[in-house]
Each structure stands twice: as structure tokens, then as C-alpha cells.
Amino acid sequence: MTSREYHYKVQIFYEDTDHSGVVYHANYLKYFERAREQIMGAAELVRLWREEGLGFAVYRADISYHEGAEFGDELDIRTTYAKESDYRLIWTQEAWRPGGHKPAVKALIHLVCLDRDKQLKPIPPIPD
């Protein structure tokens, strides 16, 4: 089962770009991470770590770049997730430019849940 689609806005600042004025490729991973954190809730992530010793790690990231966002753009990060197993969530994330007809960047991010000893644990419920 796939979640509903979530939206997270990202304003592109000059510091996000490279010498050509296009967003530096690695920054999209930051934007996607922020969007996932917004969905899961920072307070819940802190609670999971402090009280249960659980955290998330990226197991795999597949990313495709189709069009570079530019200084001044406001991206719409569109996110859905699906629970592939008791131990893995797959997040589909897309960065859309204003007026875009296709995603500028698309990623499939596989997350796993680990305890403090880096042992694999079942994914806890995600607030929806």
C-alpha cells in the first residue's frame, strides 16, 4: 500500500547553486531528507531515538536528474512511501519546478530502521 502524496516547499537560494546558477546535485538529497522528516515528524524521530533507541538509515538511493532547478525557484517536493517489508520503507520523491510538466529530479530512497547497535529492527508505525 502506498501513502497519500505529501508536498513540501523548498525555496532555492543562491547558496544552493553551483557556479552556473543551477542547484548543486547533492542538495536534492537534503531537500528529500527534509521532506521525509516533515512527514515523520521531528518530535517523533527524537522520541524514537531517545526512548526506544531506534533510528533510520538510507539503505539505497536511486536518483535521476532531468532538469536543474535554478536560483529563485520554489520547488514542490512530492513524496509518497510504501512499506516493502517489516524492515524497509521505499520513498518515491520528486522535485517539481514551477510550471513543470515532469519532475526535475526523481528519487527512490530505501530506508531501514536500526537500533543503537546498528541492528536491523522492524519499521515502527509512521504517522499519517
Active-site annotation, residues: 18
With beta carbons less than 8 A apart as the criterion, state whether 128 and 109 touch. no
Burial letters 51-87, b for 16+ CB under 10 A, else e: eeebebeeeeeeeeeeebbeeebebbbbbebeeeeee
With beta carbons less than 8 A apart as the criterion, state whether 51 and 40 touch. no
Indicate the burial class of 7 (C-beta count within 10 angstroms; 0-12, 13-18, 19 or more). Answer: exposed
